Amino acid sequence: MNIILLGPPGAGKGTQARILVDGRDMIQLSTGDMLREAKDSGSEMGRIVADVMARGDLVTDEIVIGLIREKLAGDKRGGFIFDGFPRTLKQADALAQLLDETGETLDAVIEMQVDDAALVARITARSTCGNCGEVYNDETKPIPADGVCTSCGTSAEFKRRADDNADSLKQRLMEYYKKTSPLIGYYYAKGQLSSVDGLADIDDVRAEIAAILG
């Protein structure tokens, strides 16, 4: 099964993707994570995308499509969760073509609905475990006092993303509404869209998604 999690930054796509990875042996393909890895590795591509990401703009379609193409050629396990991809109509068309070429199908597109005020509050309070990526929130799920991640049990460094600040977030939201939100109509027209309330409790969102995927 291959699915897309669609929604603005902070909607909870990464959190739900991780739950699906654990529960269904699916593979999370987060283009944001891939780009951050490229940036941290100091590769040429990483240098090209660093400023674009810091500003909150989208990197070029060619770069992200190239990253996804590579991953689709590898291990498939229980299927792919596209997290943060596609973000433009061009990327959506490219994904359809890539899946076609590999004989795969797109089984569901799940839109995670949230309002902007909640996103700002979530994102500026967000940190993740540097070891396993578990997401924490200063208000609702603080980093444990003993510094040991509740998910992986290690006392890893807890990281805040460089682009999780008010200025960059404003730009990321503008990019979302301009370039990514048209995908809601695109997938609706194909009869593939389902929507969930991204502001519900993590477990309720998980259950809503499970009901959609069957």
Active site residues: 13, 87, 126, 161, 172
**Structural contact between residues 104 and 3, judged by C-beta atoms closer than 8 angstroms:** no
For residue 26, which of 71, 80, 64 has the smallest C-alpha distance? 80
CB nearer ligand AMP, residue 50 or residue 209: 50
Does residue 87 belong to the site contacting ligand AMP (CB under 6 A)?
yes
Residue 211 CB, shortest distance to ligand AMP, in Å, is 25
When asked if residue 28 is in the footprint of ligand AMP (CB under 6 A), the reply is no
Close Cβ partners of 19 (under 8 Å, ≥ 6 residues apart): 202, 206
Residue placing its CB nearer to ligand AMP in the complex, 4 or 193:
4
Does residue 12 interact with ligand AMP by CB under 6 A?
no
Torsions phi, psi of 61, nearest 5?
A: -55, -40
Does position 84 bind ligand AMP by CB under 6 A? yes
Residue 211 pairs in a beta bridge with: none
In the three-class reduction of DSSP (H, G, I as helix; E, B as strand; rest coil), residue 195 is classed as strand
Which residues are near ligand AMP by CB under 6 A?
9, 31-32, 35, 52-53, 56-59, 64, 84-85, 87, 91, 163, 172
